[in-house]
Amino acid sequence: MNLFAEVEGSVSAITMDKPLKLYFIPYLAAGHMIPLCDIASLFASRGHFVTIITTPSNAQILPKFNYFNVHTFQFPSQEVGLPDGIENLSSVTDLDSSNRIFQATTLLREHIENFVEQEPPDCIVADFLFPWVDDLANKLHIPRFVFNGFSLFTICAMESLKSHPLPEDVSGSFVIPHFPYDITINSKPPAESKSFIDPLLTIALKSHGFIINSFVELDGEECVEYYERTIGHKAWHLGPASLVHKTTQEKANRGEKCTLSVEKFLTWLNSKQDNSVLYICFGTFCYFPDKQLYEIASAIDALNCEFIWVVPEKKGKENESEVEKEKWLPKGFEERNKGMIVRGWTPQVVILGHSAVGAFLTHCGWNSVVEAVSAGVPMITWPVHSDQFYNETLITQVHGIGVEVGADEWLTTAFRDMEKLIGRDHIEKALRRLMDGRDEAIQIRRRAQQIAKISKHVVHEGGSSHDNLTALIDELKQLKDNKGLNS
């Protein structure tokens, strides 16, 4: 062995044992923050030094772990015209306020850059809504990984449509061109959404790789091969990230403060039969108009099943009477039905994990999808915006673990009003397919439970996500070694 090889081996042996220093920069939205911080916990649980960079109010909704450090910068409330304490997309209910949140993140850039330059890490993992991190990482010669909360399936679909744009005259449903799966999307992506996301994806693909809150078996080997072959980039499946939480209390403390105690939910669910409860939740900021809520309520009324229905709190209307808040309920609904209508945050992972829950009516946000998959709960799909129409096809057409309501209105943002109304008959028909206990429901539930078993295996030793995490940590250590040798 020559002298250089001996020195290199000695340095490697020393540095490989040292913990990595990792910075995670989540976007200021619960759906982005929570899964990325769960992923950060995975690195911290392996003994590495992890720091989350965020703002004071957002620090309060981080998972209640002692695994990582939190470094905060004051949110520029006055500069963007938002009240103190409003620092997250979950706290606003209109497009103007959401744009102010986005504006605030650009004002935080200088502070974050100064901190990172003064205390450089071995790696940065940042949300793709912070494209400027690419310049910062390159300047400091630090590997950068990107998180955007999408599945690899969705990223591939978006890239396929970017490379092979649909003809201008295409409207309605379409088949994704040059894609490993023969699937049909119910609605064409809005041009405004594509013009916003495509440039961000282009910059993201300059990174060392995507961090994916999913597992290879869910996205599919075909999808991974397609991504690496056609895009030539690396994606690291490290999920389902929510499975890092083991106890009921850990799961309940994930995110914002719950409207009701977890004990109240569990006591109610414990009194119900297996697969008898319908869980309904459209995420933190899908605000359906009252007339659409009325149609959903009417379908539930006709179905006459137990339910937990989460309706986002309409911020700024806290002074409304209960009668005004629930004016969209059919007359006598609450007397006829024994379900729970909840305004605000719920311990979703705890609810989905209960045996009483038989189906999940969802907007197909990726966090909700992967949480339902992990729990083995089949889904009734109602996509609204962003990646949700792609997720629907993965659920219903690829894996067969859900049924569609039939939504075909793809909005640019959840804050935009819907023009189309899905009637109670369509909703009831979809709900019955999973809640009536017939052969179709049994087969769908069986497939959902099979993939749930896989999801629990992948995060343990010998599982695909566990092995990916180990391989990624080894690669980061090697990059650190090489940087030390070349400095």
Q: Which sequence positions are flagged as catalytic?
A: 32, 127
Q: How far apart are CA 417 and CA 380, in angstroms?
A: 22
DSSP symbol at 178:
T
Query: In 166-215, which ranges are continuous DSSP H helix?
Result: 191-204
CB 80 within 8 A of CB 104: yes
Task: Report whether 243 contacts 459 (CB < 8 A).
Answer: yes
Identify whether the C-beta of residue 310 lies closer than 8 Å to the C-beta of residue 280. yes
As a 3-state breakdown, the chain gives helix, strand, coil percent values, each rounded to 5, of 50, 15, 40
Phi, psi of 66 (to 5 degrees): -105, 15
* Burial of 330 from C-beta contacts in 10 A (0-12 / 13-18 / 19+): middle
Helix axes 424-435, 439-458, angle to 10 degrees: 70
Query: Which residues are registered as beta bridge partners of 127?
Result: 147
Integer angstrom CA distances of residue 380 from 91, 218, 307, 372: 27, 18, 14, 11
Task: List, in sequence order, every residue forming a beta bridge with 404; answer none if it has no partner.
Answer: 381
